[in-house]
């Protein structure tokens, strides 16, 4: 199982769940390591990753990713995702990433997969994904957490991709500077 292998390699962290999502499918929600942290002690434990896909939503068969979604702090981290996990992409993989430092939706093809990239300054990937797909709570009623991820994946197959098609280089040249405001009690 692909997601089991990721777990054994310590590539999944801050996990919400990993569970069956239907016949031959496994779903995961949590964070996904792009670049591992350095070794912290003699027993081999690592420091937190230096780059990750936050709030990742994955759906996998035994050996291929069929859905990948999540939040990237910056567009420059997308090639890290493709480099690390590209061998596991299904030919028809659905890929939607929310990116902090882009100002408008864009479509980029990397590793043979079309990535739908959407701007997101603040929010939850799962909620934003459901809103983009116009899925209501009633569409997911009675489903397990894994089945909900499978429903999102099947909805993405008929999703009209937003934004202009661009090369990664052009998209990187069009990034914006992100300033996070102060948070917390006033």
DSSP structure string for 28-85: EEEEEEEEPPPB-STT--BPPPSEEEEEEEEEE-SS-EEEEEEEESSGGGHHHHHHHH
Look at the chain and count its residues.
186
Q: What is the pLDDT of residue 67?
A: 97
What does the pLDDT profile of the chain (186 residues) look like in tens digits? 899 999 999 999 899 999 999 899 999 999 999 998 888 788 878 888 999 999 999 999 999 999 999 999 999 999 999 999 999 999 999 999 999 999 899 999 998 899 999 999 888 999 999 999 999 989 999 999 999 999 999 999 888 777 889 999 988 888 888 765 555 565
Closest to 147 (Cα-Cα) out of 2, 11, 42, 27: 27
Please report, for residues 29, 48, 55, 58, 140, the alpha-carbon distance to residue 70 in angstroms, rounded to integers and kept in the order given. 9, 18, 5, 9, 20
């Amino acid at each position: 199982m692909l997601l089991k292998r990721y777990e054994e390699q310590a590539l999944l962290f801050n996990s919400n769940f990993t569970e069956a999502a239907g016949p031959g499918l496994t779903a995961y929600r949590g964070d996904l390591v792009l670049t591992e942290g350095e070794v912290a002690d003699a027993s081999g434990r690592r420091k937190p990753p230096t780059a990750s896909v936050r709030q990742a939503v994955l759906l996998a068969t035994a050996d291929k990713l069929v859905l990948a979604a999540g939040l990237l702090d910056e567009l420059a981290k997308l090639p890290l995702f493709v480099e690390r996990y590209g061998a596991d992409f299904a030919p028809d993989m659905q890929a939607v990433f929310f990116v902090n430092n882009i100002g408008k939706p864009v479509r980029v093809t990397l590793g043979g997969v079309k990535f739908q990239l959407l701007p997101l300054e603040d929010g939850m990937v799962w909620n934003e994904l459901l809103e983009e797909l116009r899925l209501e709570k009633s569409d997911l009623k009675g489903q397990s957490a894994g089945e909900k991820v499978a429903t999102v994946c099947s909805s993405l197959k008929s999703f009209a991709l937003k934004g202009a098609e661009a090369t990664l280089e052009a998209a990187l040249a069009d990034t914006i500077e992100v300033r996070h405001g102060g948070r917390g009690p006033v």
